[in-house]
Amino acid sequence: SQQGEEDPQALSIQEGENATMNCSYKTSINNLQWYRQNSGRGLVHLILIRSNEREKHSGRLRVTLDTSKKSSSLLITASRAADTASYFCATDLGGTYKYIFGTGTRLKVLA
Partner 1 sequence: EAGVTQFPSHSVIEKGQTVTLRCDPISGHDNLYWYRRVMGKEIKFLLHFVKESKQDESGMPNNRFLAERTGGTYSTLKVQPAELEDSGVYFCASSPFFSGELFFGEGSRLTVL
Q: Which stretch binds partner 1 (CB under 8 A): 19-27, 39-47, 60-68, 70-78?
A: 39-47
103 binds partner 1 (CB under 8 A): yes
Sign of CA dihedral 80, 82, 83, 86: positive
38 CB-near residues (< 8 Å, 6+ apart): 44, 84, 85
CB of 110 to partner 1, least distance (A): 22
Q: Which stretch binds partner 1 (CB under 8 A): 19-27, 35-43, 58-66, 74-82?
A: 35-43
Nearest to 6 by CA among 18, 15, 19, 14: 19
Q: Which stretch binds partner 1 (CB under 8 A): 13-21, 57-65, 70-78, 99-107?
A: 99-107
Task: Count the site residues for partner 1 by CB under 8 A.
Answer: 23
Number of neighbours of residue 31 by Cβ within 10 angstroms: 16
CB of 105 closer than 8 Å to CB of 9: yes
22 binds partner 1 (CB under 8 A): no
State the residues that interact with partner 1 by CB under 8 A.
2, 30-31, 33, 35, 41-45, 48, 88, 90, 92, 96-104
